[in-house]
Amino acid sequence: MPIPSPQPQTPPDWRRQLAQAERDPQALLQRLRLPLSLLPAAESAARLFPLRAPEPWVRRIRPGDPDDPLLLQVLPLYAEHETPAGFSTDPVGDGPAQSGPGILHKYHGRVLMITTGACAIHCRYCFRRHFPYSESQAGRNDWADSLAWLDGHPEVDEVILSGGDPLTLSDRRLGTLTRALRQRPQVRRLRLHTRLPVVLPDRVTAELLALLDGPWEVVWVIHSNHAQELDEAVAAALGRLRSAGHWLLNQAVLLRRVNDSADALEALSRRLFQVGVLPYYLHLLDRVQGAAHFEVPEARGQALAAELGARLPGYLVPRLAREEAGEPAKTLVAPAPDAD
């Protein structure tokens, strides 16, 4: 009798999607039927910060549209070579704020753990494009250094897993960390700052939910900048999180040509709520070198925030905020009607 051969070990889908993310500018342009005249700039800017765009994201980009808001977040452009005054490589002061290995402790009662340098997508505007991740790996020795830091700070009751993107870690690595955190009753809230539910919704598995479970509230701060990102697969992934009793918030970055209109921001808030997420922050761009072409002037941001306030119920209006080195919290920016 033939012996049934064991099923070949296929990695969970999200791992394959992560591994096979598009890294080649030419392939991306061809796939999206975009003019190859964009290629030299894309190749040269990709040398500053590599292109990375996984399939489930690329699928949501409108082919043939060089102004697509999802394309603009991932396509390297020549403008990234510009180095205007005021744009630095560490605009939010993360270098000096490092309190321990992979630990950023800037705000009272909560601490941010840089769990990995890896991301599933490379967002061209990201302030971490120059961050020296290799020097801030919290994961060494099964997170021993970060956990020792936490044990020395019993007033910290919220642990924020960040990166990079914490959900690019394997379940095994994440599980080691959450098991250790579960033994520390000081941790009342476990927060994840991640783009994965939006970028790779298949990452939200039953196994992931099980390893995040604990004697704490789980708070997700996802990162979506445009309603077009939130398709049905994303909605389903977020639904799984809501069914598990997790809190879902969104932070967006105000980005020129991506979402710098009241219509785009209103649609984002409405769509977020439809999929179970409350708008939290709308960040003014961190002034990082290579991202100047994304900047929206602060006064314009204030005008947009005022317009959103006039159009939406208060709970759908995100807080306009800016990150300033050395401040005890994010700096809130008051909405204001447009001066012109």
Ligand X SMILES: *Cc1c(COP(=O)(O)O)cnc(C)c1O
Reported residue count of the chain is 340
Pairing of strands 98-100, 110-114: unpaired
Distances (CA, A) of 82 to 25, 28, 257, 258, 291: 20, 23, 18, 19, 8
- The answer to whether residue 195 forms part of the interface with ligand X (CB under 6 A) is no
Q: Least distance in Å: CB of 7 to ligand SF4?
A: 33
Q: Least distance in Å: CB of 86 to ligand SF4?
A: 20
Among 119, 272, 277, 304, binds ligand SF4 (CB under 6 A): 119
Piece in contact with ligand SF4 (CB under 6 A), picked from 94-102, 106-114, 122-130, 277-285: 122-130
Q: How many CB atoms lie within 10 A of CB 87?
A: 17
For ligand SF4, the closer of residues 121 and 296 by Cβ is 121
CA dist., res. 44 & res. 130, Å (int): 16
Among 15, 31, 110, 311, binds ligand X (CB under 6 A): 110
By CB under 6 A, the residues from 131 to 190 that bind ligand X are 160
Q: Least distance in Å: CB of 57 to ligand SF4?
A: 11
300 touches 313 (CB < 8 A): no
Distances (CA, A) of 322 to 64, 97, 306: 34, 17, 16
Closest residue by Cα to residue 133 from 104, 170, 175: 104
126 is in an annotated binding site: yes
Piece in contact with ligand X (CB under 6 A), picked from 16-24, 104-112, 284-292, 310-318: 104-112
CA dist., res. 37 & res. 91, Å (int): 32
- The answer to whether residue 106 forms part of the interface with ligand SF4 (CB under 6 A) is no
Among 60, 105, 106, 122, binds ligand SF4 (CB under 6 A): 122
Q: Which ranges constitute the DSSP H helices of 162-245?
A: 171-182, 196-199, 206-212, 232-243
CA dist., res. 80 & res. 48, Å (int): 8
Q: Least distance in Å: CB of 274 to ligand X?
A: 23
Q: Least distance in Å: CB of 208 to ligand SF4?
A: 17
Structure tokens at 166: 């914490």
Q: How many CB atoms lie within 10 A of CB 245?
A: 10
Structure tokens at 334: 């008051």
For ligand X, the closer of residues 31 and 110 by Cβ is 110
Inter-axis angle of helices 298-311 and 262-274, nearest 10: 50
Contacts with ligand SF4, 176-215, as mask; x by CB under 6 A: -------------------x--------------------
- The answer to whether residue 128 forms part of the interface with ligand SF4 (CB under 6 A) is yes
What does the binding site for ligand X look like in residue numbers (CB under 6 A)?
104, 106-107, 110, 112, 160, 329-330
Known binding residues for [4Fe-4S] cluster? 119, 123, 126
Residues that bind ligand SF4 (CB under 6 A): 119, 121-123, 126, 128, 164-165, 195, 223
Annotated binding site: 119, 123, 126
